[in-house]
Amino acid sequence: MEFEQKYVRFETPLNPLTPYQENFFNKLTIALDTKVYYYGSVQRFDYFPGHSDIDVCLFSGNVESTLKKIQLLLGLDQDEYDHLYIILDKEVMYECYKVIYEEPKNNLSVEISIYNDSFKRNDFYLFSQVEEYPFYVIYLLFILKFMYYKMNMVPVQVYNKIKGLIIDNTIYNKKHITHRKPARW
């Protein structure tokens, strides 16, 4: 119980969502019968409403079934997902399915990460590391996002490259990430 209470703060985003976004996540929670956990910039001050995507995480006892339900619910093709293996420090391995869903007319851009229940304790450890960014990293991300979203000074390819370098080299210190997209089932 203590473990679950520690992560209650991820059940509600720090930054306010639009009524449409709130409704979207409420429907997702009900349809999948699981909690949605918010992480990433929506939990920090470098979130730009209407521009930043909203990162959420789900845990499931049957990841493939949950993935299929999400695809049906959102009207996605069966191959619209990434299957990731993340290896940290040559010891801890995370497996994750990621689905990206966008509705530009409603300012909705979502990245849904789906993990197996058995990895929940480890994945929440990863969450806590992500949310405890050093202040200088958050400031760098804020400045980069401001230059990209508000001033249109940075091309999308440069923005993505710099953001990836900041996060991978200062936060995760990832040793290895393998992306694998399985064949359709």
86 lies in some domain? yes
CB 90 within 8 A of CB 79: no
168 lies in some domain? no
**Domain at 52, CATH number:** 3.30.460
Element (H, E) at 73: helix 63-74
DSSP string, 114-163: EEEGGGHHHHHHHHHHHHT--HHHHHHHHHHHIIIIIS--S-HHHHHHHH
pLDDT at residue number 175? 43
Digitized pLDDT (tens) for each residue of the chain, 185 residues in all:
455 666 787 899 999 999 999 999 999 999 999 999 998 899 889 999 989 999 999 999 999 999 999 999 999 998 888 887 766 666 666 788 999 999 999 989 999 999 888 777 666 655 665 566 788 888 999 999 999 999 999 999 999 999 988 877 776 554 445 445 543 33
pLDDT at residue number 122? 64
Number of domains into which the chain is organized: 1
157 lies in some domain? no
151 lies in some domain? no
23 lies in some domain? yes
Residue 70 DSSP SS3:
helix
118 lies in some domain? yes
122 lies in some domain? yes
pLDDT at residue number 123? 60
47 lies in some domain? yes
The Cα–Cα gap between 111 and 182 comes to 19
Q: Provide the domain limits for residue 14.
A: 2-132+175-180
Element (H, E) at 3: helix 2-6
Stated pTM of the model: 0.84
